[in-house]
Structure 1
Amino acid sequence: MAIQEFTLADLKRILHESAGTDEGVDLDGDILDSDFEDLGYESLALLETGGRIEREWGITLDDDALTDSRTPRALINAVNAHLEVAAAA
Structure 2
Amino acid sequence: MSKKVFSIDDLKRILLDGAGEPEGVGVEASTVDLEFQELGYDSLAVLETCTRIEREFEISLDEGVLGEALTPRALVDVVNNQLSLANLA
RMSD: 1.5
1:74 aligns with 2:74: yes
1:39 aligns with 2:39: yes
- Paired residues in the alignment total 87
Distance 1:33 1:16 in 2: 18
Distance 2:51 2:76 in 1: 14
- C-alpha offsets along residues 18-58 of structure 1, whole Å, 9 cap, x if unaligned? 00122452533511101100011111111100000000000
User: Which is helix-richer, 1 or 2?
Assistant: 2
**Which TM-score applies when normalising by structure 1?**
0.89
- C-alpha offsets along residues 51-86 of structure 1, whole Å, 9 cap, x if unaligned? 000000000000112221010000000000000110
Aligned to 2:60: 60
Identity of aligned residues (%): 48
**Gaps spanning 5+ residues in structure 2: where?**
none
